[in-house]
Amino acid sequence: MRQLYTVPEVAKILRVKKGFVYELIYTGRLEALKLSERRIRISEEAVAAYLESLKDFSRTEAK
């Protein structure tokens, strides 16, 4: 079974505020599962993909 994180857990992993994680989700930059109106979960793979996209962005900017 894959690891699912809550918004506060992802905020801690990324070292950002919860509001920023919600912004990432609602703008489509971080994939999330909406289990109900108030329950959102983010997979370990989605967090890894977001972090990889940051690396790709910084590589593009460096050129």
Residue-wise pLDDT tens digits, 23-62: 999 999 999 999 998 899 999 999 999 999 988 766 666 5
The pair of structure tokens assigned to 11 is 């905020």
Whether the CB-CB separation of 8 and 49 falls below 8 Å is answered with no
**Does the structural domain 4-62 have CATH classification 1.10.1660?**
yes
Residue 55: its pLDDT value, please?
86
pLDDT in tens, 11-20: 999 999 999 9
Mean pLDDT computed over 1-7: 91
Residue 30: its pLDDT value, please?
98
Q: What is the DSSP letter of 50?
A: H
Three-class DSSP category at 40:
strand
